[in-house]
Amino acid sequence: MCGPRMDDPDLPLGLLFSHWPAAASVFLSHRMVCFGCPIAPFHTVIDACAEYGLNEATFRAELRAAVGG
């Protein structure tokens, strides 16, 4: 069985942060409080981008760059 995929639209933010800790820097650079939020285990990148009015494709590109992939 493979591990989580960063591009999985259903990947909860809590799992994203635990597998790719460097991703937190992208959230923090956008002044997003998702890292450490009690709702992170239930929200996805899609939810976060919608909440903060960010372009999802651009945000995901920043995440990939931050984690080296």
- For residue range 43-63, list pLDDT tens digits in order: 999 999 999 999 999 999 999
Q: What is the pLDDT of residue 24?
A: 96
% of the chain residues with pLDDT over 90: 87
Closest CA to 53 of 21, 35, 31: 31
Q: b or e along 7-36 (b: 16 or more beta carbons within 10 Å of the residue's beta carbon)?
A: eeeebbbbbbbeebeebbebbeeeebebbe
Model pTM score: 0.89
Q: What is the pLDDT of residue 1?
A: 59
Instruction: Please report how many Cα atoms fall inside a 13 Å half-sphere around the Cα of residue 57, on the Cβ side.
Output: 0
Q: What is the pLDDT of residue 36?
A: 87
